[in-house]
Structure 1
Amino acid sequence: MAAPDPASAPDPASAPVPGTPVPDRDAGPVTRWHRRSGTAVLLDGFHALKHAVRFGAKVEVAVTADRAAALALADELAPDVRDALAALLAEVPYETYASLVPRPHPTAVAALAVRPSRAGNLEKLAHTPRTAPVVVLDLPRNLGNAGAVIRLAAGFGATGVVTTGTLDPWHPTVVRGGAGLHFATAVERLPVDELPAGPVFALDPEGDDIRALKLPDDALLAFGSERSGLSAELRARADHLVALPMRPQVSSYNLATSVAMTLYHWSATGDAS
């Protein structure tokens, strides 16, 4: 019998060491999910995965209970990332999919992605000259509203969204509300004294009518909570107080509505192209 070819023999240095985990490329999607679920960003639903892939997220594992339906959605709504989604999506039984997420999404799609580095996001927020404002949510309370604001900010091409206070802007409910568009803008939490440089235009009922103002590209657009408004610390940091037009006896706008109106005003009258 011929002797084995040394060139084809396995390299002892590359052989797995007994007791060590199997490399992820050889693990099934559920195993990979459980290994990463504690630190990765949950992308809940087809649209969150679509946007994350479109804006360069590193997706570690993606599952669906109906791969054919998910790819049909991609053909219809996201042909630009269809091939990437086809390479990522693994089909699992519906019961398995449902066990991996807090509550099943109608599209039966979920994925885990690597969160962008804080250092990279802070660098983007601090970079000057800035070509689009930074949205600041001062002590926000509602996770869904925060997600809706991030979705708006991404749609308008804002430089980023910064929250103050205890709300985590990368909470799964916020990411779900943002439809995966956290990966299209810089999202971080900072104390007021560490906000990026730039003039602060803070929304307040006693401020100047926004319709008489031009919002510069390097502005920080600050919004207080719907219940208590701006904090004293943020108000002291503000360079300008700005008011949205509002009918008398109406208490306030929804936070996301206020952000949308302000970003639209910037896009229509400011330096934005």
Structure 2
Amino acid sequence: MNETHQRDPDDAVRAWRALADTSVLLDGFHAIKHALRFKATIPAALTSDTAAVLALADELAPDVRGALETLLVEIPDGTLRHLVPRLHPTGVAALAVRPSRTANLEALARMPRSAPVVVLDDPRNLGNAGAVIRLAAGFGATGVVTTGTLDPWHPTVVRGGAGLHFATAVERMDVEELPPGQVYALDAEGVDIRGLKLPDDAVLAFGSERSGLSARLRDRADHLVSLPMRPQVSSYNLATSVGMTLFHWSAGRPPGTEA
């Protein structure tokens, strides 16, 4: 008999409520899929339609189907939506254990590095932060650091990152604590990036959507770098800027090289 049907729904709901305040919310199939692929510890996963979720796994991610089937507990839809008010259209949610700050800091500080660290200087938009983490994971960046007050593990950020927080090191730090490496800060007054080769151990820093680089980050920078931009265009979206910069870095590596 499938373990999905053996687990008691009431016990699952009680466990969820006990874990919710200290766990990372994975809202939706894609976030859970990526978290499983990158070995996240997931103590709870709920849905109101087990067959539909497993059908999605069969279609989109057969590699995690078995693990997902073991985790899932089916509960009434109303209960699920009470526990997860902004439930993803795929109708499934899970709770995961957040990686320890110590482990993230160790990964970010380790030298030599084979891929850059991305720094978001006092970002304000949760969706942008999530999109950046998704990009960083896709390019194989060592990690994403945020300064300021935004929590990079906020549920909206995790949703925007599609669960790929578990594919890279994600942490909040002060400017003075940034990982080692030459800091290349993106700024309109900087040197055109097209004339530069970014090193693998670079720290790539991006200012906030509202005010750009802080004075502290600008003072910390070893290099100011600019992206090509048509005159009279004010700026790019934060995630777009990160994607362009990481692509420029990756374009200098031999095809097929992974970080």
* 2: CA distance, partners of 1:86 / 1:100: 20
* 1: CA distance, partners of 2:135 / 2:97: 22
Report what 1:175 is aligned to. Answer: 158
* 2: CA distance, partners of 1:216 / 1:28: 51
Aligned residue among 173, 176, 180 for 1:190:
173
* 2: CA distance, partners of 1:230 / 1:25: 51
Secondary structure of residue in 1 paired with 2:135: helix
Report what 2:66 is aligned to. Answer: 83
Report what 1:159 is aligned to. Answer: 142
Report what 1:212 is aligned to. Answer: 195
The CA deviation string for residues 52-83 of structure 1, in whole angstroms up to 9 with x for no partner, is 11100000100011111101110111111110
Sort the Cα spacing of 1:141 and 1:271 in 2 relative to 1 into closer, same or farther, 3 A: farther
Whether the 8 Å CA contact 2:45–2:73 is kept in 1: the answer is yes
Deviation at 1:269, TM superposition (A): 1.5
* 2: CA distance, partners of 1:33 / 1:174: 20
* 1: CA distance, partners of 2:73 / 2:8: 13
* 2: CA distance, partners of 1:26 / 1:118: 32
Q: Does 1:46 find its partner at 2:29? A: yes
Sort the Cα spacing of 1:179 and 1:271 in 2 relative to 1 into closer, same or farther, 3 A: same
Q: Give the alignment's TM-score, normalised by structure 2.
A: 0.94
Aligned residue among 112, 115, 119 for 1:136:
119
* 2: CA distance, partners of 1:227 / 1:148: 17
User: Which structure: larger Rg?
Assistant: 1
Secondary structure of residue in 2 paired with 1:59: coil
Q: Does 1:93 find its partner at 2:76? A: yes
Secondary structure of residue in 2 paired with 1:144: helix
Gaps of 5+ in 1: 1-23
For residues 23-34 of structure 1, the aligned pairs below 5 Å read 28-34=11-17
Q: Which amino acid aligns with 2:241?
A: S
Report what 2:233 is aligned to. Answer: 250
Q: Which amino acid aligns with 1:101?
A: V
Whether the 8 Å CA contact 2:37–2:64 is kept in 1: the answer is yes
Aligned residue among 110, 117, 142 for 2:100:
117
Report what 2:182 is aligned to. Answer: 199
Cα RMSD after superposing both structures: 1.5
Q: Which amino acid aligns with 2:54?
A: L
Aligned length: 250
Question: Identity, % of aligned pairs?
Answer: 74
Secondary structure of residue in 1 paired with 2:158: helix
Report what 1:10 is aligned to. Answer: none
Q: Does 1:35 find its partner at 2:18? A: yes
Q: Which amino acid aligns with 1:207?
A: G
* 2: CA distance, partners of 1:27 / 1:211: 58
Secondary structure of residue in 2 paired with 1:221: strand
Report what 2:3 is aligned to. Answer: none
* 2: CA distance, partners of 1:109 / 1:233: 42
Q: Does 1:239 find its partner at 2:232? A: no
Deviation at 1:152, TM superposition (A): 0.4
Q: Give the alignment's TM-score, normalised by structure 1.
A: 0.89
Whether the 8 Å CA contact 1:216–1:271 is kept in 2: the answer is no
Secondary structure of residue in 2 paired with 1:247: coil
Whether the 8 Å CA contact 2:9–2:73 is kept in 1: the answer is no
Gaps of 5+ in 2: 1-6
Sort the Cα spacing of 1:25 and 1:188 in 2 relative to 1 into closer, same or farther, 3 A: farther
Q: Which amino acid aligns with 2:204?
A: L
Deviation at 1:102, TM superposition (A): 3.2
Report what 1:225 is aligned to. Answer: 208
